[in-house]
A and B are shown apart, each in its own frame.
Chain A
Amino acid sequence: MSRRRKPPAIKEDVSCNLIPMVDIMFLLLLFFMLGADMTQREQAELVLATASEIKENDTVKSDEPTTTVNIQHGEATCPVNKAGGFCRGQDHWELVIRGRTVPKETFKDQLKAEADETLEPDVDPLAGVRLSARKVIIRADRAAPYGDINKVIETCSLVGIYKIEVGAAVPAPTN
């Protein structure tokens, strides 16, 4: 009686090599970490008006003291704003500095405090006082009422800030 012999079991090595995957994942991680903006949110999420003639933001950050004033719609339930219209509610538009809403009544005091932090070294011959070296960037939503921006500019003038920048978005390229 012939006995059939079992064929020897082939030992297969099916373990996957994880090293390339880890390499790629490290690269992805590096990309997202470098691209993430972990700084304090100076800029609120706004829909800015577009303008083709604007000067693009400098890539190198200057050491100039800067305050960004965001003007955004703060009433979530406003039907006009929800529908994409121009809301003109008196208290619906708010001033936001460094992520905090500043009441319009105390806005001048806060701006004055920030302006006085960094005064120019010399007395200005025209103004007769030391003006502020601080720059104010006004970033307003496209639908914001001009009166609010005008008020911010006027307040800057009153507290001795004369360097103003008006933010706008670069229009999307057309094919």
Chain B
Amino acid sequence: MAGSSMGDDSGENPVAINVTPLVDVIFCLCVFFMISFKFKQLEGKFDTWLPKGKGSEGMPLSAVIQEVRVALFWDETNNKSIRKVGTRIVPDDGELQQLIEAAHDGFVRLDKPDVPLTIDGDLRVPWEDVISVMNISKRAGMKQIEFAYNVPTAR
């Protein structure tokens, strides 16, 4: 361990401090903090706002639904998700982005830029596939993302 003091110059320095215990304690603290130290992964978030009034009641059935809908199905045999836009299966990210962009541009031309993208997912679909669709739709310029879910019976 560490040496005894600051040298043998007690004549010059009559109150020599023994630094050994100090160094020992600092070593212990250093080891403790080094072991517990962890580099954190950078995280972020997607802001989501639930509808205030109609959230639990759902939309009236008579309302004309205007949305870009991406459906996610779970293929149990191959253990992977299947993405569909309309009836078309879209496995490629670039292709999905193009389809969403085209749909979004169509609504912008109709002066409806706030038309949402609705993610209608099978409950077994892995969350990373849902996040992937959210990411692609943000990249494609969609401002609003909605999640489809069954309407609960009571509040």
Contacts and interface: CB of A to CB of B under 8 A. Distances in A.
A53 interface: yes
B139 A53 contact: yes
Interface band, chain B: 35 or more
Contact of B23 (A22, A57, A127): A22
Given A48-B43, A168-B43, A168-B131, A32 B30 contact: yes
| 5 interchain residue pairs of minimum CB distance | A147-B123, A32-B33, A126-B53, A54-B44, A49-B128
By secondary structure, the A interface counts as mixed
Interface string B1-45: 011111110000000000100110011011001101110111111
Interface in B123-142: 123-132, 134-135, 138-139
Given A53-B138, A164-B50, A165-B47, A26 B26 contact: yes
B65 to A, nearest CB: 19
Interface residues of A, number: 62
A162 B55 CA distance: 9
A57 B155 contact: no
A54 B123 contact: no
B36 to A, nearest CB: 6
A13 B4 CA distance: 14
B154 to A, nearest CB: 9
Nearest to B8: A15
A119 to B, nearest CB: 13
Task: Indicate the member of A26, A35, A56, A131 with the most B CB atoms within 10 Å.
Answer: A35
Nearest to B151: A154
B53 A36 contact: no
B46 A168 contact: yes
A73 B45 CA distance: 21
Contacts of A150: 121, 123, 147, 149
B146 to A, nearest CB: 11
10 contacts: A25-B30, A28-B30, A49-B132, A50-B131, A53-B46, A142-B131, A150-B121, A150-B149, A162-B55, A166-B46
Contacts of B128: 49-50, 142-143
B72 A146 contact: yes
Interface string A150-175: 10011011100111111111100000
Task: Indicate the member of A19, A32, A126, A163 with the most B CB atoms within 10 Å.
Answer: A32
A52 B139 contact: yes
Interface string A9-51: 0000101111101100110110011011100000000001111
